[in-house]
Structure 1
Amino acid sequence: MADQAVRRSPGRRAAKGNRFYFAVSACSVIAVLLLWWIASSNEWVNPLFLPPPSEVWSAFTDIVREGYKGSTLLAHIGASLKRISVALLLVFAIAVPLGILCGRIRLLSAVFDPFVEFYRALPPLAYYSLLVLWFGIQDTSKIILLFLSGFAPMFIAAVYSARRIPVDRINGARSLGASGFRLYAFVIFPSCLPDLLTGLRTAVGVTYATLVAAEMVAAVSGIGWMVLDASKYLRSDIIYAVIIIMGIIAILIDSAIRLLIRKVSPWIEQ
């Protein structure tokens, strides 16, 4: 019984600590909302720049009920998530195997690394006009822009994780007969998976931040486009409402990835 109590106590302390930090986070959010309400009520800031929370809530409910520019809110969210999902699937399917191979084969790394290092520091808008010229103004150019924004962090995470695999693990697998595809599929890839999921979390954040740029040109749907379109008419209430929606979606996506990381590698704190 004493041993069970000892084993349970760390878990209880961790749960109590999590509840405490959650309460602190909730209080921080409430404090910011309260400050926002006080500032807007006393008109410390021009309502054009900081609309009252009531107006933002009213704009949100209007968008939920009536949609925006002929499409429902779910349709706009779905259009943006579709672009991001396709881009991230391509990122994981291309950047991960290429990065792992570059991490294990220095010659291959020498071929691809200069190009990745060159373009990853460029702002997305710097080469988006080229993508539009090459691939048109439809979703193809937008998906490619999102793909390029997420490729570099995913590729770098794959290279780093492949290089830090212990040599003894590789030699042990080879001594048991693993080689070629089996070595990569059953030893190297599982060893890289925790770092890959962390890299995916970074890639999702970078890709999501590029969403507005991707929906700037000839788009008529998407939450990024909603922000840009509302800014043309100085509808700051809609801008704030959509930005909050974007933030909530980003938190949900990040929470899902963090949960997946904890399932795959529970020893890593997230």
Structure 2
Amino acid sequence: MMKKTKRKENLRIYTYATWGIILFSWFLTTELGLVSSRLVPSPGNVIQTFIEIMNNGYNGTPLWSHIGISLYRLFISSFLAILTAIPLGLMSGYFKRFRAVIDSVVQFYRPLPPLAYYTFLILWLGIDESSKITLLYLAAFAPIYLSCVSAVANINPNYLLSAESLGASKKDVFFTVVLPASLPEVFTGLRTAIGIAYTTLVSAEMVAATSGVGWMVIDASRYLKSDVMFIGIIIMGVTGVLLDWCLRNLENKLVFWKGKQ
């Protein structure tokens, strides 16, 4: 146990050193004037702009409101994706006829770029939150669904045969064998889906939006406000890491049998 703790501490040193080098390189590059400040603002300018936005907001809207509306869109869409993709994915993996109905539809829209059908969503659902949440929902649905199908396919068939030989019904096998055995890979799909939905958030806030972190980045890019763009990117990166950290901790608590035979 102590060896494992020391190993983690050593790995953290590498992580901290990596980010220290990145920040030092950023500081040195801007201080020496190797690139234009319009393209890469200095860390000092970014911090100063961040304080100003914290105090005065951006475009008349407080920074926390921008972060809040983006996370609201992300959480609602991800919750709906989890609520639908997990049962559909597990059932598609376990029941071949069910998979024949659902899988082709998911495989068709999955490779499509979000902006390719976002215009249709706006025409059908309007410019309010419905179209944005639907776009993020579709982005998050496919990774969760595919991870569930893959998880069921990777279950040791001996587990299923053993349960059936003991008289378990299809329903019993699904809830007592398929679901627990699939959860580790399902959580991997959840983490991937949250990341994809977050990257799609910028696309969702590009059109007919006046708030959100993604909108801040897009709006700042129109006026070459690179410091505001850096702030938005840093906020999205930090919140993305925190969300992934929360999911990993939740996985460790709920799926405590992961990696154990």
TM superposition score normalised by structure 2: 0.93
- Structure 1 runs not aligned, ≥5 long: 1-10
The partner residue of 2:10 within 20, 45, 48 is 20
| C-alpha displacement of 1:231 | 1.4
Q: Is 1:152 the equivalent of 2:139?
A: no
| C-alpha displacement of 1:181 | 4.1
Q: Say if 2:184 and 2:258, in contact at 8 Å, map to a contact too.
A: no
SS of match in other structure, 1:38: helix
Percent identity among equivalent residues? 41
Q: Is 1:207 the equivalent of 2:191?
A: no
| C-alpha displacement of 1:210 | 0.5
Q: Which amino acid aligns with 2:84?
A: I
Q: Is 1:240 the equivalent of 2:211?
A: no
Q: Say if 2:206 and 2:218, in contact at 8 Å, map to a contact too.
A: yes
- Structure 2 runs not aligned, ≥5 long: none
CA–CA separation in structure 2 for the residues paired with 1:182 and 1:63:
55
Count of residue pairs the alignment pairs up: 259
CA–CA separation in structure 2 for the residues paired with 1:195 and 1:67:
41
| C-alpha displacement of 1:217 | 1.1
TM alignment of 1:106-255, pairs within 5 A: 106-176=96-166, 178-255=168-245
Deviations along 1:63-95, one digit per CA (max 9) or x if unpaired, are 122221222211111101111111111111111
The partner residue of 1:32 within 22, 40, 56 is 22
| C-alpha displacement of 1:122 | 1.1
Q: Say if 1:79 and 1:221, in contact at 8 Å, map to a contact too.
A: yes
Deviations along 1:41-83, one digit per CA (max 9) or x if unpaired, are 1110011001111000011111122221222211111101111
| C-alpha displacement of 1:184 | 2.6
Q: Is 1:105 the equivalent of 2:98?
A: no
Q: Say if 1:262 and 1:268, in contact at 8 Å, map to a contact too.
A: no
Q: Is 1:256 the equivalent of 2:246?
A: yes
Alignment RMSD (CA, Å): 1.7
Q: Which amino acid aligns with 1:97?
A: P
Q: Which amino acid aligns with 1:62?
A: E
TM superposition score normalised by structure 1: 0.90
